[in-house]
């Protein structure tokens, strides 16, 4: 069974593996977000569907469903996040496991995005 611990200014979700080791699943800015994730972890364990995010085998799209509930931002910021995710990031990396996304892949992706922008909209270097 997963539980929530306060650590500094955030809250982490932890659970005990079958071998007795305690591991951290994720960290969140609020108790409520961490509690929600702890319940998800319990359900995933009950279904034998838990994938350890630390192993990097989950896809970026799967990680976003873990990350999003615990990330706080204003409405305008969320609108921007969703726009970037849906229109650019997820179509390219959504089905890619986290451990397969290399720094070079991201740099090439950013270069492609910058090339698609009108010159006036490009950020100053």
Interval 28-45: pLDDT, tens: 889 999 999 899 889 888
Q: Which domain holds residue 1?
A: 1-50
Of 36-45, 70-79, 86-95, which one has max mean pLDDT?
Answer: 86-95
> Are residues 43 and 66 located together in one domain of the fold?
no
pTM of the entire predicted model: 0.53
> Are residues 72 and 122 located together in one domain of the fold?
yes
Residue 121, pLDDT above cutoff 60: no
Count each helix (H run) and each strand (E run) in the chain, helices first. Answer: 5, 3
Helix (H, G, I), strand (E, B) or coil at 91: helix
> Are residues 117 and 75 located together in one domain of the fold?
yes
Alpha-carbon distance 90 to 88, whole Å? 6
């Amino acid at each position: 069974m997963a539980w929530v611990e306060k650590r500094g200014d955030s809250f982490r979700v932890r659970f005990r593996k079958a071998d007795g080791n305690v591991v951290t699943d994720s960290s969140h800015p609020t108790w409520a977000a961490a509690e929600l994730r702890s319940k998800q972890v319990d359900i995933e364990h009950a279904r034998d569907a838990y994938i350890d995010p630390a192993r990097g085998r989950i896809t970026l799209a799967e990680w976003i469903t873990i990350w999003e509930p615990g990330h706080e931002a204003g409405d305008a910021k969320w609108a921007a996040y969703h726009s970037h995710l849906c229109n650019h990031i997820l179509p390219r990396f959504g089905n890619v496991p986290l451990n397969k996304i290399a720094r070079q892949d991201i740099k090439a992706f950013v270069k492609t995005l910058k090339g698609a922008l009108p010159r006036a909209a490009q950020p100053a270097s």
